Amino acid sequence: MPKSRQALLVKRKNLSSWLLSLPTMLWLLLFFLIPYLIVIIYSFLSPDIYDVKFEFSLDAYRQIFSGDYLRPFLLSFKLAIYTTLLCLILGFPVAYYIARASEKLKNTLLIFIIIPFWTNLIIRIFSWRIFLSYKGVMNDVLLKLGLIHAPLEVMRTDLAVILVMVYVYLPYMILPLYSVLEKLDFTLLNAAMDLGANEVKAFFRITLPLAVEGIFAGTLLVFIPALGAYLIPQLVGNQSSLYIGQVITYKIKNIPRNWPMASALSLTLLFLVALLLLLMYALYRRRLAHRYKS
């Protein structure tokens, strides 16, 4: 093919790429990037009962930096850490079990993991309320079995929030773990044990390092939504200790509204998430470099 013709073809291909990507680019520019610009602007305005006043103010940031909202942030981080750890501890054996099952069984087992994931979120939360509430099924059964003498008060506690969070986000951890464990060469484990490594050592030296990509992906998929959780704390949590997602929502929805505060809190959350992503990316890069060296 002559050079000029090839250049023309590349040019035409690029033009069609521009045309094909333009609608999506514009959509995301208008409804994803520009809205954040407005959040930034609103965070420097003054609150009004129903709206915002277009007067410059640093009050929102002043309040955040003086630590007024430290508690909800800490609570949300704690929730995200617990949820991620529990999902990992429960999800790893499950993913491992599915990855080692026979080909036929694998798909069936995966469907069983995915069905709850496809069931409406609010309905799954609601079913936990039926299960956990003071006069709910769990207390009913435990009382009848004589295991407890008074109903347990689990509903409206931080424990209930963690429990339901783990329930909802477990599939998000299992699926990426499964996809790396499925590709894992299990003969390596055999070799290690033939060479005298015990099971624990083989797990920590072989299985775990090779599953790191899945752990990273699963952690991202669980930790980040957990930081912004609103619905689960709202429906099963203790209303006297609010998570940051609830605080932001109240500032937007409840009257008197405080949109500058909601904006500043949102940006703080965004900043923390970005920091976390950078940290994880750095860790990931270091691991890759480490692997190529050895």
Partner 1 sequence: MSTTTPRIYKGLNLTIFSLVMVFLYIPILILIIFSFNDSRIITGWQGFTTKYYVQLFNNPTIATAFRNTMLIAGLSTLISTSLGVMAALALENTKFKARKGFLALIYTPLVIPDILMGVSLALLFNFTRVNTGMVTVLIAHVTFCISYTVIVIQSRLEGFDYSLVEAAQDLGAKPHYIFWKIKFPLMLPGIIAAALLAFTLSIDDFIITFFTSGRGFDTLPIYVEGTIRRGTITTINALSTLMIAFTLFLVVVTKRIRKIIISAL
Report the site for partner 1 in 216-255 (rule: CB under 8 A): 220, 224-225, 227-228, 230-231, 235, 245, 248-249, 252-253
Per-residue x/- marks for partner 1, 155-194, CB under 8 A?
Answer: ------------x--x----xx--x------xx-xx--x-
**Which residue carries 């060469």 as its tokens?**
185
CB of 32 to partner 1, least distance (A): 6
CA atoms of 81 and 90, how far apart (whole Å): 14
CB of 158 to partner 1, least distance (A): 19
Contact 170/93 with Cβ under 8 angstroms?
no
Stretch of residues binding partner 1 (CB under 8 A), selected from 57-65, 152-160, 260-268, 282-290: 260-268
Contact 105/216 with Cβ under 8 angstroms?
no
Burial grade of 166 (CB within 10 A; 0-12, 13-18, 19 or more): buried
To which H or E segment does residue 53 belong?
strand 52-53
Q: Which of 46, 59, 63, 110 binds partner 1 (CB under 8 A)?
A: 110
Q: Is 123 in the site for partner 1 (CB under 8 A)?
A: yes
Q: Is 153 in the site for partner 1 (CB under 8 A)?
A: no
Q: Is 275 in the site for partner 1 (CB under 8 A)?
A: no
Helices (H), 146-243: 158-181, 187-194, 199-202, 208-210, 212-227, 231-236
Query: Rounded to whole angstroms, what are the CA distances from 199 to 109, 180, 206, 208?
Result: 25, 20, 10, 12
Using the Cα atoms of residue 118, residue 121, residue 127 and residue 128 in order, give the sign of their dihedral: positive
- Reading the block at residue 269, the tokens are 């959350």
The residue among 160, 139, 135, 134 whose CA lies nearest residue 149 is 139
Q: Which of 48, 88, 129, 197 binds partner 1 (CB under 8 A)?
A: 129
Q: Is 140 in the site for partner 1 (CB under 8 A)?
A: yes
Size of the site for partner 1 (CB under 8 A): 92
Q: Which is nearer to partner 1, 209 or 290 (CB)?
A: 209
Q: Which of 6, 7, 8, 27 binds partner 1 (CB under 8 A)?
A: 27
Per-residue x/- marks for partner 1, 84-103, CB under 8 A?
Answer: ------x--xx-xxx-x---
CB of 293 to partner 1, least distance (A): 27
Q: Which is nearer to partner 1, 69 or 128 (CB)?
A: 128
Q: Is 53 in the site for partner 1 (CB under 8 A)?
A: no
Tell me, rounded to whole angstroms, the distance of Cα 20 from its chain centroid: 31
